[in-house]
Structure 1
Amino acid sequence: MLSRLSILADPMIAVLLIATALALFVPSVGEARGIAQTVSSVGIFLLFLVNGMRIARGEIARGLANWRFFAPLFLWVFGAMSLAGLGFAQLASTILPPMVALGFLYLGTLPSTIQSATSYTSLAGGNIALSVVGAALINIAGVFVTAPLFALLGGGSAAEIGNETILRIGLILILPFVIGQLLQDWTIDTLRERKSQVVWLDRLVIGIAVYVAFSGAVEQGLATMFSATDWAVLLALIVAFLIVGTGGAWGLGGLLRYPREDRIAFLFAGAQKSVAIGAPLAAILFPPDIAGFVIAPLLLYHLLQLVWAAPLATYLARQQPD
Structure 2
Amino acid sequence: MRRPRLPARFPLDPYVLALLATVGLAALLPARGPAATVADGASTAAVALLFFLYGARLSTREALDGLRHWRLHLTVLACTFVLFPALGLAARALVPTLLTQPLYNGLLFLCLVPSTVQSSIAFTSIARGNVPAAICAGSFSSLAGIALTPLLAGALLGGDGGGFSAGSLLKIVVQLLLPFLLGQLLRPWTGGFLTRRKKVLGYVDRGSILLVVYAAFSAGVAAGVWHRVSLPRLGALMAVEAVLLALMLLVTWYGSARLGFGRADRIAIQFAGSKKSLAAGLPMASVLFGAQASLAVLPLMLFHQMQLMVCAVLARRRAADPDTPDSGQLPDGPVAEVSPRPQHPAAQGR
Task: Tell me if TM exceeds 0.5.
Answer: yes
Matches within 5 A, 1:249-268: 249-268=252-271
Verify: 1:49 aligned to 2:62, yes or no. no
Please state which structure has a larger fraction of its residues in helix: 1
Conserved 8 A contact 1:124-1:314: yes
Which amino acid in the other structure matches residue 21 of structure 2?
Answer: I
Q: Deviations over 1:127-174 (max 9, x none)?
A: 111101110110010010001112212244334332211111111111
How many pairs does the alignment contain?
318
Verify: 1:189 aligned to 2:192, yes or no. yes
Conserved 8 A contact 1:100-1:295: no
- Aligned-pair distance for 1:176? 1.0
59-68 or 129-138: bigger deviation: 59-68
Q: Deviations over 1:280-309 (max 9, x none)?
A: 001111122x11111110010011111111
Q: Distance in 1 between matches of 2:252 and 2:143?
A: 20
Picking from 102, 117, 122, the partner of 2:125 is 122
Verify: 1:85 aligned to 2:88, yes or no. yes
- Aligned-pair distance for 1:272? 1.0
211-220 or 260-269: bigger deviation: 211-220
**Structure showing greater Rg:** 2
Verify: 1:19 aligned to 2:22, yes or no. yes
- Aligned-pair distance for 1:48? 0.9
Question: Residue 38 of structure 2 corresponds to which residue in structure 1?
Answer: 35
**Partner SS for 2:32:** coil
Which amino acid in the other structure matches residue 190 of structure 1?
Answer: F
Q: Distance in 1 between matches of 2:306 and 2:31?
A: 27
TM-score (norm 2): 0.86
Matches within 5 A, 1:197-212: 197-212=200-215
**Partner SS for 2:260:** coil
Conserved 8 A contact 2:113-2:277: yes
Question: Residue 170 of structure 1 corresponds to which residue in structure 2?
Answer: 173
Q: Deviations over 1:186-243 (max 9, x none)?
A: 2222222222122222211111111111112223334433222112111111111111
**Unaligned 5+ runs, structure 1:** none
Q: Percent identity?
A: 33
Q: Distance in 2 between matches of 1:187 and 1:159?
A: 35
Conserved 8 A contact 2:106-2:296: yes
Conserved 8 A contact 2:79-2:274: no
Matches within 5 A, 1:214-229: 214-229=217-232
Q: Distance in 2 between matches of 1:4 and 1:147?
A: 39
Which amino acid in the other structure matches residue 258 of structure 2?
Answer: L
Q: Distance in 1 between matches of 2:118 and 2:265?
A: 17
Which amino acid in the other structure matches residue 310 of structure 2?
Answer: W
Conserved 8 A contact 1:86-1:104: no
Q: Distance in 2 between matches of 1:155 and 1:179?
A: 29
TM-score (norm 1): 0.93
Question: Residue 73 of structure 2 corresponds to which residue in structure 1?
Answer: 70
Question: Residue 300 of structure 1 corresponds to which residue in structure 2?
Answer: 302
Verify: 1:7 aligned to 2:11, yes or no. yes
Distance change (3 Å), C-alpha of 1:203 and 1:5: farther
Q: Deviations over 1:45-85 (max 9, x none)?
A: 11111111111011221233422111121111100101111
Q: Distance in 1 between matches of 2:10 and 2:150?
A: 31
**Unaligned 5+ runs, structure 2:** 1-6, 326-350
**Partner SS for 1:286:** helix
Conserved 8 A contact 1:151-1:159: no
Picking from 311, 315, 318, the partner of 1:316 is 318
Conserved 8 A contact 1:7-1:13: no
Picking from 179, 198, 215, the partner of 2:182 is 179
C-alpha RMSD of matched pairs (Å): 1.8
